[in-house]
Every structure is written in structure tokens, then in C-alpha cells.
Amino acid sequence: MKTPDFSKGLLTSVVVDDQTGDVLMVAWMNRESYQKTLATGQTWFWSRSRQELWHKGETSGNTQEVKRMWLDCDQDTLLLRVKSAGPACHTGKRSCFFEELELRKGK
């Protein structure tokens, strides 16, 4: 079994709803948060703004139970399929991806 390559720093972690396939959020993991995620079955990340470990839902109660996890071909990005206990976004939205951008077609 392959393991993530933390030699380049943090791993991008894409979090997807296991039932719907909707992308809920993107966060970052370091070695310690990755190991805590494996050990607990819940998502743990590295907060770049606070510079500390972050257990998703620790204060909000909106935890994420990891159902499945994949490592990409370069071992530097994780895809996590989760069961969420509430909204993934700090705004209260189900997903962090709710701002659709306008595409400019043509020129």
C-alpha cells in the first residue's frame, strides 16, 4: 500500500460526500493530521491560518466520518469520501463550493 509523500509539505485533501459525490470542501493535511484521520476515522486537517491541527467539527459538531480514502498517482493529494454530520462550510452551507462563476465564452 502506498503512503502519502509529505516531503513537499502539506497534502491537498478533497472532501466528497460519500452518498452524493458532491465536493464538500478542500483542506490540507500534514503527517500528524493524516495519522489522526487514520486512527480516529474522522477528518483532521492542518489549519494554515491558525498553524495548528484542526479536528473538523470540534467546535461546530459538524464532524466528518471517513468512509473511503484515495491517494493520487503522485502521492501528494488525497480524496476522502465522508459522511457529514452537518454542513462542511464555515458559512453554514452544505458545501464550500456554492459560488458559481460566470464563464466568458468567445474571445
Residues annotated within the binding site for Mg(2+) are: 72, 74, 76
As given in the structure block, the three cell numbers for residue 52 are: 495548528
Q: Which residues line the annotated binding site?
A: 72-74, 76, 89, 96
Which of these, 81, 47, 82, 84, lies nearest to 62 by C-alpha position? 84
Percentage helix, strand, coil for the chain under 3-state DSSP, each rounded to 5: 10, 35, 50
**C-alpha neighbours within 13 Å on the C-beta side of residue 96:** 11
Q: Which residues line the annotated binding site for Zn(2+)?
A: 73, 89, 96
49: which residues sit within 8 A by CB, 6+ positions away? Answer: none
